[in-house]
Amino acid sequence: MKRLTLAALASGALFGTGLAMSGMTDPRRVLGFLDLFGDFDPTLLFVLGGAVVTTAVSFRFVLRRGNPVLADTFHLSNLRRIDRRLVTGAAIFGIGWGIAGYCPGPVLAGLGIASREALWFVPAMLIGMLVHRIVNRS
Amino acid sequence: MIGWSIALAGGVLIGLAATLLLWLNGRVAGVSGILNGVIFPRRADIAWRAAFLLGLIVAGGFYMALVPGAALPRTDYSRAGLLVAGVLVGFGTRMGNGCTSGHGVCGLGRLSLRSLVAVLTFMATAIVTTFVLRHLWSAT
């Protein structure tokens, strides 16, 4: 197996472990956070906080290198514009997230234990991506 | 029940995973973008994407299956709700170029203003949606 593939496998495994360990694989924890006016559950804040503080420190060091270890260049988005597309898209994603409590990472992890809800949600999510692709083409 | 220290440790692991992918492969660990690249492949870079998702699914599954007290997914949400939510999440993450991991974990880590706007926007609509469904709609 190529080293790039192996590295991605390791990163994905670490990512999935982190998601499951932090409790984000249970959408009730996520909705408990989003429901500010109910039985508030701050867990998500600790998870996102732990992740962002880590990347905010580590990315500075990583990006100081001219290039990644196994590839020629860093593939970073060079989009800067804050436009209607960004805000509308994020708003739509948020509505879907608030309905069922699943964002893409945790719901994919749910496939790993054949979660009934993930088995319904993931195909619908793929359809949503397909619809976006079709709409954007025309 | 998962305490805050375990949640924080899990968050740090997620951050380290994103660090590893950027440091070694030069790639952003944005799950919706990686998934999109597997379903609609552009160049010959399907392998690392598929490997990342495989690792996420298998390791996440193993953790939930093997670790006592792990947070298991809910099982009783309505099918229609899941389908509607799924389509919105798929469509919205593509239109807005990222989800909780791409804009949240990685974008905020890069101090991207664009990502900050995205995160504040999806947090806001998610909170409003939850409020409406749980406190206004909740005749159910």
**Model ipTM value:** 0.96
In which residue are the tokens 């995205």 written?
B118
**Cβ–Cβ < 8 Å for B18, A76:** no
Residue numbers in B near A6 (CB within 8 A) = 51
Q: Does A50 touch chain B (CB under 8 A)?
A: yes
A8 alpha carbon, distance to own chain's centre: 15
Torsion, Cα A98 A100 A102 A108, to 10 degrees, reads: -160
**Which of A4, A5, A21, A63 has the highest number of chain B CBs within 10 A, making it the mutation to test binding with B?**
A21
List B residues 9-38 in contact with A (Cβ-Cβ < 8 A): 9-29, 31-32, 35-36
Closest CA to B36 of B115, B90, B105: B90
Say whether A42 and B62 touch across the interface (CB within 8 A).
no
Q: Which pLDDT score, from 0 to 100, does residue A98 have? A: 98
Say whether B12 and A9 touch across the interface (CB within 8 A).
no
**Which of B91, B97, B120 has the highest number of chain A CBs within 10 A, making it the mutation to test binding with A?**
B91
Taking the domains of chain B in order of start, what are their residue ranges? 4-136
Say whether B58 and A112 touch across the interface (CB within 8 A).
yes
The fraction of chain B above a pLDDT of 90, given in percent, is 88
Residue B140 has pLDDT above 80, yes or no: no
Across B120-129, average pLDDT: 98
AA identity, residue B27? R
Tell me how far apart the alpha carbons of residues A72 and A67 are, in angstroms, rounded to a whole number: 6
**Cβ–Cβ < 8 Å for B63, B6:** no
List B residues 65-124 in contact with A (Cβ-Cβ < 8 A): 65, 67, 70-75, 77, 79, 81-97, 99-101, 103-106, 108-114, 117-119, 121-124
pLDDT classification of B139: cutoffs 50, 70, 90:
very low
At B88, which helix (H) or strand (E)?
A: helix B79-95
User: What average pLDDT is seen over chain A?
Assistant: 95
A55 alpha carbon, distance to own chain's centre: 14
pLDDT classification of B41: cutoffs 50, 70, 90:
confident
Across B26-48, average pLDDT: 92
Q: Which pLDDT score, from 0 to 100, does residue A1 have? A: 66
**Residues counted in chain A:** 138
Q: Does A134 touch chain B (CB under 8 A)?
A: no
Closest CA to B57 of B78, B38, B85, B84: B38
Across A91-106, average pLDDT: 98
pLDDT classification of A96: cutoffs 50, 70, 90:
very high
Tell me how far apart the alpha carbons of residues A6 and B24 are, in angstroms, rounded to a whole number: 10
Residue A77 has pLDDT above 90, yes or no: no
AA identity, residue B58? V
Residue B44 has pLDDT above 80, yes or no: no
Say whether A75 and B29 touch across the interface (CB within 8 A).
no
Tell me how far apart the alpha carbons of residues A19 and A12 are, in angstroms, rounded to a whole number: 10
Torsion, Cα B117 B121 B122 B123, to 10 degrees, reads: 100
Tell me how far apart the alpha carbons of residues B64 and A103 are, in angstroms, rounded to a whole number: 17
Q: Which pLDDT score, from 0 to 100, does residue B42 have? A: 80
pLDDT in tens, B82-93: 999 999 999 999
Nearest Cα residue in chain B from A105: B31
- Any alpha helices (H) in B21-45, and if so which ranges? 31-39
pLDDT classification of B80: cutoffs 50, 70, 90:
very high
The fraction of chain A above a pLDDT of 70, given in percent, is 99
Say whether A35 and B130 touch across the interface (CB within 8 A).
yes
Residue B82: which residues within 8 A CB-CB, separation 6 or more? A100, A117, A120, A121, A124
Task: Tell the burial category of B43 from Cβ atoms under 10 Å away from its Cβ (0-12, 13-18, 19+).
Answer: exposed
Tell me how far apart the alpha carbons of residues B140 and A104 are, in angstroms, rounded to a whole number: 27
Q: Does A137 touch chain B (CB under 8 A)?
A: no
